[in-house]
Structures are given as structure tokens and as C-alpha cells.
Amino acid sequence: MTLQEIQEEIISEFDVFDDWMDKYEYIIDLGKELPIIDPLKKTDDRLIEGCQSKVWLDATVVDGKMQFTADSDAIITKGIIGLLIRVMNEQSPEAVATADLFFIQKIGLQEHLSPTRSNGLIGMVKKLKMSALQALNA
Amino acid sequence: MYLCTMMADETKKAFNVRAIREQFPALSQKIYNKNLIYFDNGATSQKPAMVLDAINQYYSKDNANIHRGVHFMSQHATTEYETARKTIQHYIHAKSSDEIIFTKGTTDGINLIASSYGELLTEGDEILITAMEHHSNIVPWQMLCQRKKLTLKVAPINLKGELITEEFDRLLTDKTKLVSVTHISNTLGTINPIAEIVKKAHAVGAKVVVDGAQSIQHMAIDVQALDCDFFVFSGHKVFGPTGIGVLYGKEALLEKMPPYQGGGDMIAKVTFERTTYNELPFKFEAGTPHIAGGICLGKAFEFLNGLDLQAIQTYEKEITEYAQDLLDTFEDLSIIGEAKHKTSVVSFSIKGIHPFDIGTLLDKQGIAVRTGHHCTQPLMDFFKIPGTIRASFAFYNTKEEIDTFIEAVDRSMNLLK
């Protein structure tokens, strides 16, 4: 699936929720399923420190495709990371580096990626894209 | 005398939370389709219609620059601004309106003192703060200490969140020139014994700065009874506009202090060779001030003058204890800050759950609380937690709101487990 198709799929999954708490219950469940970063890789160079919650991200390239694992100390942040990784995983470095993450706004989670939210997610998206750029230049 | 007191009391409106809420338009809105429950009063307060009307009146009719204009509007705006200064003077019981300096807020006030009074300090002098201070009452002193080679001492607190008196007494020496302490902790709600601290500090010749950001809206303030040398607060936390605040300083001290910033309004005469400075309070108010802010902050205090402060204090203590008692019934939930004397703030953390998650879920249920370190990182380090969830109350909050909040905390915890 392309990055575009996965985003469309997520949007339609979220369409069923008309209550915010149901939506967040789903995000929390996603957080529990996140491909967790190897604890040994939870090092400072993989840490994105937000004012409120912390995010660790590891990026590798396998057979020309990006592979991400991550973790956070807050479970809602983890759920949103889970969504971001689902979109970006197994994609080419080019696709990740130039990704337009329109699904975030469509499913009403844009507040989590606003600069004032300070949960490390903005930094994480930057790092996802940077790692793809590095892979391109390698 | 008795009759006068009785009449004065009768003119004050009886404390009625329903009637008070009607005066705060922001409180009757819906957030995510739920009735707003605003428990972030420690960060900022909502504004009564009286203040909102005054803002509108100022910009739609009275707008003019003050202090120098010969025309009607300028004189009218000047009178309003200076009347506000007097209203505030009377509210906090300052001796003179010359002791009321308008600032941008608490942070600005502390920086003014650190910059200006700091000039009078010399190498080796000590400044004493406490372990429960807001970053605003830490960083300006660190910067001053670096600049002037002074030493910053920190008086520790106990696990209940109270200042340890013996330790404070030990750190207060004849080297201490300034003690800067919060009246009420923004994170813990602890009320510090200011009058006692002032007495001890004065005994060793130190001056005292009181950070009143969290007390001005919750209790009657009498700077002369406290005998503090400086008292600073923000307008927006006491039902006034943002961008305006007050620094109270004893006149004799303010006279001794050099100006903070140079510019218009703060001068008596300027030549290229030499400038003489204006008298108090204008010496510390360079440039066109926040005129609307000052006038409308005056209105906020007029609003408070119409209420029974003693009744408010009792009511706020009652709802704070009500919330704390209910939160205490949750397993795995710890109240952070259990001082004997505390008010209006309940901070808590939940085992295995990040404050950010609870804050996000409460928001989606229409409840505004603050999560994180509350600009008191050293305090979080002391309690060994990343942050807390903080509910902070004002007199317009109700027990029914607290009941809804408790149900929402319960629902959120169940989702997150």
C-alpha cells in the first residue's frame, strides 16, 4: 500500500467514531500495539524530549525500505506514534522524506502536532523525515 | 463603629456561586459538546463581564495616550489609569499609590527587582529562595547571582510540601540580603507563613520579596501587615487582563533603586549630557504603558471589592478539601502537596499513568486542568515525578463540577489501565 492509501484507510477507520472518548480509547489500544523499540536502543541520541512526554525513535533501512520502532512514556503519544509508523513503515526513503501527513488533520489529532503541545511528536515527525533524508544521501 | 462595619458588610453581596458564575461569560460555554469545567485557574483566571465591558469601553471610546496630553481624552484616560492605581493601593493596603508600579506581570516584577535592587548588592551577598518556587522566582536570581557574583541559597521543603523552618532559619544569616518566596505554591497549594518569614529576615537585615501570583486572587492582602518589602502579582490571575501586573515596593526602597528601563515617561529632564529621572511610580514605568490593562485591572479589583473576601476564602478551602478527599479514595493516586495550610490547588499523580494522558482525556470530557511540571522542575525532581495533574480552583467553581471531574478521572483511569 502506498503512504496515501494507508492514510485513507486510517481516516475511514476513524470515521466510525462520533464520540471523542471512543476515538481516544482506540488510540490507547493502538498505543499498546506499537512496535516497541529495543530497550537497549533507548539512548539519548534516539530521545526526543517534549515538555510533557518523551519519545524514543529508531530508524533503519532494510532492502531500501524504512523501518521504525519507537516508544513513549505517555500512552496516547504512543498511539499516535503507532499511527505515524503505520503510515511510514516499509515505505521508500523518498516517500517518507516528502510525506504529506494529511490524515492527522482529518482524524482531528492536529492539536498533538502543534508546536505548543510539547509532547515530542513534532520532533518525532522531523526525525522520521530526517532519517529518510539521511538514507537517501547515504 | 459597629454600625459602620455592619453597613459596609451589608453593601457586600452575599456569596452566591450561581450569581457569581453568571458574571463570567466564558464559564457557560461547551467544549467538545460538554459543559466546560475550568480547573486551570492557577494558570489564568476567567474575566467577569465588568472587566470585559471596561476593555470594550476603553478601546471603543476612551483610547488616548496618558500623562502628557492636554486634550480631554488624554486627561480622562490618565484619570482612569491613576484611579486604578489607587484602587489597587487600597486593595493591598499600601501606604501610598507611589508604591504601586505597573508591570507586565509577576515575572516582569521579579526581573525588575533583580535588575534594579540587584544593583545595590555586592559580591558575597546571599539571596535565599525556597525549593517550591516557580521558575520565575529562580531564574532571575540565578542570572543576578552570575552577574554580581552573589550566592543563591535554597531552603528545602518536607514531603508534605511545607518549608522546613529549621533549615530556613539555618540558611538565613547576616549574609542574606534578599529573601524571595512564594506566598502560595502554584504546584502544591502550600501557603507560606509570610509574616513570620518577614520578621526573621528583617532581624538579619534582609529584604523580602513575596511572589503573590497565586495568593492575590485567593485571600485578602495587607502588605503593611505582612511588612514585606516587595509584593508582585499578575493581573490575569486576578480576573484582569493579561500583560499587566503590579510590583508593590516600600517607598524608601523604591527611591533608593536605580531605574529599570530608560525611555519616555520615566524622565524629569533629558539633555545629551545628563538625564534626571521622574519621581515614583513613573521612574519605573518607561514608555507608553498598558493603559487598557491598568484601567481594567482596576475594574477587576472593584469587582473583588464587591465580594466578601472572607467568605470566598472559606468557600475555596471547602471545595479544595472536597476535591482532595474524593481524589484520596482512588487507589494508586497520590496527592502531591499535603501541607497543613493549603488552598485552591490539588496536584496529584497516578501510579503507572502519565499526567499527559489523563490531561488529554479530561480535556475531551470538557475539563481544563494543567499537566506537567508547572514551571517548577526542581520541585518535580524533589518528588521524583515527571509532572502532576493539577486542578486549581476559583470561587466560581462548584462541588457539582468536582463531582463530574471525579467521574471523569475515574473513566480516564479505567481507559488507561
A25, A28, A119 ranked by CB distance to B356: nearest: A119
A71 touches chain B (CB under 8 A): no
How many C-beta neighbours within 10 Å does residue B241 have? 21
User: Mean per-residue pLDDT for A74-101?
Assistant: 93
Q: Among B15, B16, B39, which Cα is nearest to B27's?
A: B39
Residue from B351, B356, B358, B389 whose CB has the most chain A CBs within 10 Å, to mutate:
B356
Distance CA A86, CA A108 (A): 17
Task: Please answer whether residues B299 and B51 qualify as being in contact, where contact means their C-beta atoms are separated by less than 8 angstroms.
Answer: yes
- Where do we find the cell 459596609? B8
User: Mean per-residue pLDDT for B146-153?
Assistant: 98
Closest approach of B336 to chain A, Cα-based (Å):
18
Q: What is the per-residue pLDDT across A43-78, written as a single tens digit (0 to 9) for each?
A: 988 888 776 788 899 999 999 999 999 999 899 999
ipTM score here? 0.89
| Identified catalytic residue from B4, B228, B296, B375 | B375
Q: What stretch of H or E contains B210? A: strand B207-211
Whether the per-residue pLDDT at B10 is higher than 60: the answer is: no
Residue from A53, A55, A81, A114 whose CB has the most chain B CBs within 10 Å, to mutate:
A53
Q: What is the set of active-site residues of A? A: 51
Topology of domain A3-137 in CATH is: Sufe protein. Chain: A (3.90.1010)
Q: What is the per-residue pLDDT across B156-209, written as a single tens digit (0 to 9) for each?
A: 999 999 999 999 999 999 999 999 999 999 999 999 999 999 999 999 999 999
Whether the per-residue pLDDT at A116 is higher than 80: the answer is: no
- Percent pLDDT > 70 in chain B is 97
Show Cβ contacts of residue B249 under 8 Å, excluding neighbours closer than 6 positions.
Answer: B99, B101, B113, B229, B230, B257
B357, B364, B373 ranked by CB distance to A20: nearest: B364
Pick the CATH number of B2-47+308-416 from 3.30.420.40, 1.10.760.10, 3.90.1150.10, 1.20.1250.20: 3.90.1150.10
Active site residue B375: yes
Topology of domain B52-305 in CATH is: Aspartate Aminotransferase; domain 2 (3.40.640)
Task: Please answer whether residues B185 and B132 qualify as being in contact, where contact means their C-beta atoms are separated by less than 8 angstroms.
Answer: yes
CB spacing of A52 vs B355 below 8 angstroms: yes
Domain ranges (residues) in chain B = 2-47+308-416, 52-305
Task: Please answer whether residues B81 and B58 qualify as being in contact, where contact means their C-beta atoms are separated by less than 8 angstroms.
Answer: no
Whether the per-residue pLDDT at B361 is higher than 50: the answer is: yes
* Residues of chain A numbered 78-117 and touching chain B (CB < 8 Å): none
User: Mean per-residue pLDDT for B229-251?
Assistant: 98
Residues of A in contact with B356 (CB under 8 A): 52-53, 74, 76-77, 119
- Could you please report the per-residue DSSP string of B303-341? HHHTS-HHHHHHHHHHHHHHHHHHHTTSTTEEEE---SS
Please name the residue of chain B whose CA is at the shortest distance from the CA of residue A26. Answer: B415
